[in-house]
Amino acid sequence: MGLLNYYRAFIPDFATIAAPLTDLLRKGSPEKVNWNQSCQQSFDTIKNLLSSDPILIIPDVEEQFVVRSDASDTGIGAVLLQERNQHLMPCRYTSRRLSPRECNYSTIERECLAIIFAVRQFSKFLTFRTFVLQTDYKPLSFLKAGAPKNSRLMRWALSLQEYSFHIVPIPGNKNVQADALSRLC
């Protein structure tokens, strides 16, 4: 799994696809590996994805980046996009499962966590340039406009102040990639 983690940014839904394999490595799992059908299917899917043509574009640092993120009850996901030929094309994907503690977060906290996760994952592309942050959750506009009431949200809003971005609300049906990444974790 070590080397596969390098390629996770290039495989959509990696966290979900690799979940049966990562569960084998989880602390407290039995000494004996129980290789079952879901592990084999996960392995085969990753093998096929690694050997197929990529659909990602090479990031152009001269062009503006768009970040889309989303959260579900079980995971968070994001995609880094750039416009090419009047279409937003993915440069990178990222996703992860929520911890048991994070699953208890309110909706606004999970959505904000997804943004924080996305910006941190893509920070090498976003630092020192203005980017667009697209979200299907309108209450997150406080990140740039005002002070949140919750201390966790306040801390996250403060951590985003080093970045220059515009929040653009989008309909949920336009946030398909990030939504799928968050739900499949």
Which domains can be identified in the chain, with CATH numbers?
4-51 (no CATH), 66-183 (3.30.420.10)
pLDDT digits (tens, 9 = 90+) for 77-123: 999 999 988 888 889 989 898 999 999 999 989 999 999 999 999 99
pLDDT digits (tens, 9 = 90+) for 126-137: 999 999 999 887
Q: What is the pTM of this model?
A: 0.71
DSSP notation for 87-145: EEEEEEEEEEEPPHHHHTS-HHHHHHHHHHHHHHHTHHHHTTSEEEEEES-GGGGHHHH
User: Do 96 and 75 form a contact (C-beta atoms < 8 A)?
Assistant: yes
